[in-house]
Amino acid sequence: MYIKPFDFKRLCTPSASPGGVDSQAMVTATMNLVGNHQQSPIVSDQQPLHWAIDGVGYFAVIDKKTGERLLTRKGDFVTDANGQMTTADGQYFLEPAITLPPGSTQYYIDEIGTVRTLIAENGIWTELGRITLTRVPYPDKLTALGGRDGYFKVTQAAGMNEEGQAGQNMFGRVVGGALEDFSQAAQKLPDGPCKLGLGKQVPTDKNLDVAIDGDGYFVLMSSVTGESLYTRQGAFQVNGDKHLFSLITKGAFTNHQGYMVEIQAQDGKPQTLHLSDNQTLDRIDEKGTLFVKEGEEVKAMGRLVLAKIQNKELLEPVGFARQNVFRAKTHAPLSKTEIAMGLPTENGLGALKPQMLEACGLDVLNYPESP
């Protein structure tokens, strides 16, 4: 699948005139501008109703008193007495509206804006709705709200509003349990230490954690864009009964961020792994073999695939909060001369170390484990 190249330099450069807005102009000038229009570093604070935008876009909020629609990148949300999500000071409702039902014990938002809550009574993750993001072609033409830092009124000079789903059509992704640090602007995508495999490997107590001892990257697939992604962080899980990750089916084998994991099936064909109701993923060995338990029987269901990338400068982080997940800088598939696919311990690829993780700094994400 070909993904349209993302021109970060153009994105950071405002157009000269708001006249004659075309579709390409709709994604320009949304980062690295003064006054909370910039992409700032994303910092985890473990508050599930605190959300950051990793990329282009604004949250929309509605003034409770006047009904006026405003834009902001500030995502420090709370709930009011009725469970409806509001800004931290309670003056503005989130738009689209999200209301948390009584009995909610955990909250979670995925990268495309789907909001879920865990109901204590039945232990089920329940989908509450999906927020959208808004962008304008000339954000520096938005009017700052007096006395309210980081909130902006929509103006005609800013150009036509465009709403869209996070993670698609060049809109940013949403990061739960984190906020942007608006005291500084993030000038470029960071290169995480896992890109070069320099992270220290540390033990964990999880059977689905594996580290690569040597060369190679695990191969992931984004269910949002369809593009191939690469990482050295082998923190894996099976999407639970309650469909924690949207667009990912029950029983799917994913990494801790909800990206599908590529494996080689027993017949040698590449695929993704989906378990049935009576199967559990028991462990992963040093050759990347996935052992699935069904009743009392344990059997191999394929092996993890690794990618050997000759020139690591061809990779860039997926985002400011995903600096240890990489994609091709061209956003098009790497050629056969640039990437070679194989299995752990074969053709110069490293072996896997079960119950270990490469500790080069976990990405700024706060996904709860599947119940």
For residue 81 the two structure tokens come to: 């007495």
CA 243 from centroid of its chain's CA atoms? 16
From the first residue on, what is the mean pLDDT of each consecutive set of 10 residues in the chain (371 residues)? 26 31 34 58 88 94 95 95 94 95 84 86 84 93 86 92 89 91 77 69 90 93 83 86 56 83 88 88 94 94 93 86 84 81 93 89 52 38
- CA–CA separation, 167 and 255 (whole Å): 18
Q: Give the torsion sign (CA, 233, 234, 240, 245).
A: positive
Q: Which of helix, strand or coil describes residue 10? A: helix
Question: Which residues have C-beta within 8 Å of that of residue 78, sequence separation ≥ 6?
Answer: 49, 85, 86, 87, 88, 90
- What span, in angstroms and rounded, lies between the C-alpha atoms of 119 and 103? 6
pLDDT at 16: 32
> Which residue, 196, 204, 186, 283, is CA-closest to 231?
196
**CA gap 371, 360 in Å, rounded:** 27
Q: Look at residue 231 in the predicted model and tell me its pLDDT.
A: 92
Nearest alpha carbon to residue 12 among 154, 185, 180, 169: 185
DSSP-based three-state secondary structure for 313: helix
Measure the CA–CA gap between 55 and 58, rounded to whole angstroms.
Answer: 10
User: What's the pLDDT score for residue 296?
Assistant: 92
pLDDT of residue 148: 79
Supply the pLDDT for residue 369: 47
pLDDT given at position 170: 83
What is the model's pLDDT at position 295?
Answer: 93
Helix, strand or coil for residue 340?
A: strand
pLDDT at position 107 is: 84
pLDDT for residue 365: 53
Q: Residue 312 has what pLDDT? A: 86
The amino acid occupying position 63 is D
For the whole prediction, is pTM greater than 0.85? no
Q: How far apart (Å, rounded) are the C-alpha atoms in residues 292 and 279?
A: 7
Please give the Cα distance from 213 to 193 (Å, whole number).
Answer: 15
pLDDT at position 2: 24
Alpha helices by DSSP H, listed for the chain, are 8-11
State the Cα–Cα distance between residues 341 and 17, nearest whole angstrom.
47
- Nearest Cα residue to 231 out of 202, 199, 204, 205: 199
